[in-house]
Amino acid sequence: MTVESETSVLSAQGLCKEYGKGAALVRAVQAVTLEVERGELVAVVGPSGCGKSTLLHLLGGLERPTAGSVRLGGSALERMPEAQQARIRRRDLGFVFQAFHLVDELTALENVELPALLAGASPRGARARASELLAQVGLADRASHLPSALSGGQQQRVAIARALANEPLLVLADEPTGNLDSSATTELLRLFEQLHARGQTVVVVTHDERIAATADRLISMRDGAFVDETKLAGGTARPLSAMAGLEA
């Protein structure tokens, strides 16, 4: 274990991802370095095609980088055999996607307990944990519904509950509000604030300003590279009353 792994949940060094060759070479991610501390909520923003989703896939071990390394909780992903990587993905990472990716044939409760079952939890334990998580996201009364009987906002909350099933070190979220209307987005914001308050470490890529504003730290990405970083936590804004037009 290295020193930085004590507080740093995720550490990416010099990450690059290239597709194609010669004239058709695309540098999707270029020399990205990122440290995420325990309990931090980091948002990566940028125009579509800037490489932020590819970056998230690299961080989650869903794709292999062309160069660079990713350490999760102190272990280097690229040095592991595929089977071990898959185990780490299941146990230490929770994924939330724009299109929810729930299993259509399973109920909300079954979707949420699935990751725990795959990680070897007892059926009884997995079920208890899943019920608790569904209650936390406000869907205790929808446990036996199939995804098709849920609204988009409810499906995304089920997906978040599922991401938390194994108490992951890190939640990776890709445009979590991309398919949601404004009131479902508000519900999701509430949930993000709760997750954050409970100390869950989260990296989210988004172009939703409201989600970005929940972050402690905001990273702007353009053409595959980080171009700007802003600390939002502890920042001072104009007083709310001035923003509302009450003050001159």
Q: Which residues bind another protein (CB under 8 A)?
A: 47, 186, 189-190, 193, 207, 209-210, 212-214, 218, 220, 222, 227-228, 230, 232, 235-241, 243-248
Other residues' Cβ atoms within 10 Å of the Cβ of residue 158: 27
Instruction: Collapse the DSSP code of 205 into the 3-class scheme (helix H, G, I; strand E, B; otherwise coil) and give the result.
Output: strand
Q: Which of residues 3 and 244 has its CB atom nearest to another protein in the complex?
A: 244
3 state DSSP class of 169: coil
State how far the Cα of 139 lies from the Cα of 109, in Å rounded to an integer. 10
Alpha helices, DSSP H, located in 66-198:
82-92, 108-118, 123-136, 152-163, 182-197
Smallest CA-to-CA distance from 180 within 162, 147, 157 is with 157
**In the bound complex, what is the minimum distance in angstroms from residue 219's beta carbon to another protein?**
11
Burial of 133 (0-12, 13-18, 19+ CB in 10 A): buried
70 neighbors 88 (Cβ within 8 angstroms):
no
CB of 20 to another protein, least distance (A): 23
CB of 241 to another protein, least distance (A): 5
Radius of gyration of the chain (CA): 19
Which residue, 80 or 232, is less far from another protein as judged by CB? 232
* Smallest gap from residue 76 Cβ to another protein (A): 32
**Six-digit token pair at 134?**
């569904």
Question: CA–CA separation, 84 vs 166, rounded Å?
Answer: 16
Nearer to another protein, 1 or 248 (CB): 248
Rounded CA-CA distance 70/10 in Å is: 7
Closest contact distance (angstroms) between CB of 199 and another protein is 17
CB nearer to another protein: give 105 or 193.
Answer: 193
CB 91 to another protein: min, Å: 32
**Smaller CB distance to another protein: residue 148 or 241?**
241
Comparison of 121 and 184: residue with beta carbon closer to another protein: 184
Between 123 and 239, CB nearer to another protein? 239
> Considering the complex, what minimum distance in angstroms separates the CB of residue 210 from another protein?
6
